[in-house]
């Protein structure tokens, strides 16, 4: 069972979120001020944190920044108020994974929680410490490192995440929508062209002949399949 921490000083919001998340089957812990919230996040016991920005004693931004500085990697969704537009960006730079602006719909919040938990789960796959071979490429997903013919190559984080998702679904057909949902989540909506461009770039690295792919193949009308 996933364990979620809510840090929020508005009692009605706090209890409303708690009830709804519990109803969805999550185990929920709560904190109603910044210091207590920081203390609880620092225990690193949660799968996800919903973190309000304006809190007594310590702001959500400070909590986020300090928790990351202390090595806490728990995914964090910031609950921001309208008018915190600039702060939002800052919030993500501080190491938050996502944000949602109040007032938000419960449905949207739940969708983001689910998406973030799903994304985090993929990163946690146990075999990731080992180097694996995909076509021409040797790759270590946990360190974001890749080599072709023993030469280290540069790939963006998104390329790694993208390839990682395909790898986890290997030998299965993955639709473009699956890729968009699972690699980009709900906070950013790229076009399906984006997926095609990623596929193109990966093929140029992985395939012997990217015009005649044997590893990341197109399944017409459905999506893509990584063969391994
Ligand atoms: Ca508040």
How many angstroms separate the alpha carbon of residue 31 from the centre of ligand 1? 12
How many angstroms separate the alpha carbon of residue 145 from the centre of ligand 1? 40
How many angstroms separate the alpha carbon of residue 184 from the centre of ligand 1? 28
Pick from 178, 115, 218: nearest CA to 227: 218
16 has pLDDT over 90? yes
156 has pLDDT over 90? no
How many angstroms separate the alpha carbon of residue 114 from the centre of ligand 1? 23
How many angstroms separate the alpha carbon of residue 64 from the centre of ligand 1? 15
| DSSP notation for the chain | --EEEEE-S-HHHHHHHHHHHHHTT-EEEEESSHHHHHHHHHTT--SEEEEESS-SSS-HHHHHHHHHHTT----EEEEEETT-HHHHHHHHHTT-SEEEEES--HHHHHHHHHHHHHHHHHHT-GGGGS-EEETTEEEETTTTEEEETTEEE---HHHHHHHHHHHHTTTSEEEHHHHIIIII-SS----HHHHHHHHHHHHHHH-SSTTS-SSEEEETTTEEEE--
How many angstroms separate the alpha carbon of residue 39 from the centre of ligand 1? 17
The Cα–Cα gap between 227 and 172 comes to: 8
How many angstroms separate the alpha carbon of residue 55 from the centre of ligand 1? 5
* Model pLDDT for residues 196-212, shown as the tens digit of each residue: 888 998 999 899 999 99
Query: How high is the pLDDT of residue 180?
Result: 82
How many angstroms separate the alpha carbon of residue 86 from the centre of ligand 1? 17
Region label for 83, one of left (φ > 0), alpha (ψ between -120 and 50) or beta (otherwise): left
Query: How high is the pLDDT of residue 5?
Result: 98
Query: How high is the pLDDT of residue 111?
Result: 94
How many angstroms separate the alpha carbon of residue 88 from the centre of ligand 1? 15
User: Could you identify the residue written with the tokens 């790229």?
Assistant: 190
9 has pLDDT over 90? yes
* Model pLDDT for residues 72-85, shown as the tens digit of each residue: 888 999 998 877 65
174 has pLDDT over 60? yes
How many angstroms separate the alpha carbon of residue 190 from the centre of ligand 1? 32
Structure tokens at 149: 């013919």
* Model pLDDT for residues 92-149, shown as the tens digit of each residue: 677 888 889 899 999 999 999 999 998 887 665 545 568 888 988 999 888 888 999 8
How many angstroms separate the alpha carbon of residue 196 from the centre of ligand 1? 42
Q: How many residues does the chain have?
A: 228
- The better pLDDT of the pair 62, 184 is held by 62
Using alpha carbons, list the distances in angstroms from residue 35 to 32, 53, 70, 148, 226: 9, 13, 15, 48, 47
> Who's near 191: CB < 8 A, 6+ residues apart?
none
Query: How high is the pLDDT of residue 73?
Result: 83
How many angstroms separate the alpha carbon of residue 35 from the centre of ligand 1? 13
The tally of CA atoms less than 13 A away on the side-chain side of residue 156 is 7
How many angstroms separate the alpha carbon of residue 54 from the centre of ligand 1? 4
Residue 103: cis peptide before it, omega within 30 degrees of 0: yes
How many angstroms separate the alpha carbon of residue 79 from the centre of ligand 1? 9
186 has pLDDT over 80? no
Pick from 58, 107, 53, 98: nearest CA to 80: 53
Query: How high is the pLDDT of residue 90?
Result: 62
88 has pLDDT over 70? no
* Model pLDDT for residues 45-55, shown as the tens digit of each residue: 899 999 999 99
Averaged pLDDT for residues 50-70: 92
**Which residues have their alpha-adjacent CB atom under 5 A from ion ligand 1?**
9, 52, 54
How many angstroms separate the alpha carbon of residue 5 from the centre of ligand 1? 15
Averaged pLDDT for residues 3-31: 96
How many angstroms separate the alpha carbon of residue 40 from the centre of ligand 1? 17
The structural domains of the chain, ordered by start, are 3-123 (3.40.50.2300), 126-226 (1.10.10.10)
């Amino acid at each position: 069972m996933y364990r979620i921490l809510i840090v929020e000083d508005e009692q009605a919001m706090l209890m409303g979120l708690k009830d709804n998340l519990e109803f969805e089957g999550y185990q929920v812990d709560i904190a109603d001020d910044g210091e207590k919230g920081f203390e609880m996040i620092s225990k690193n016991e949660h799968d996800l944190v919903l973190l309000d920005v304006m809190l007594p004693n310590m702001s959500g931004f400070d909590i986020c920044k300090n928790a990351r500085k202390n090595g806490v990697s728990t995914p964090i969704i910031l609950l921001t108020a309208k008018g915190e537009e600039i702060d939002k960006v800052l919030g993500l730079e501080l190491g938050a994974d996502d944000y949602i602006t109040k007032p938000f719909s419960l449905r949207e919040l739940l969708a983001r929680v689910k998406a973030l938990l799903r994304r985090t789960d993929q990163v946690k796959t146990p075999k990731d410490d080992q180097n694996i071979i995909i076509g021409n490429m040797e790759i270590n997903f946990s360190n974001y490192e890749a080599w072709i013919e023993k030469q280290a190559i540069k790939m963006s984080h998104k390329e790694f995440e993208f390839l990682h998702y395909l790898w986890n679904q290997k030998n299965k057909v993955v639709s473009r929508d699956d890729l968009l949902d699972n690699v980009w989540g709900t906070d950013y909506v790229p076009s399906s062209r984006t997926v095609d461009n990623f596929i193109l770039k990966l093929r140029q690295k992985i395939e012997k002949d990217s015009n005649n792919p044997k590893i990341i193949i197109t399944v017409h009308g459905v999506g893509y399949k990584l063969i391994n």
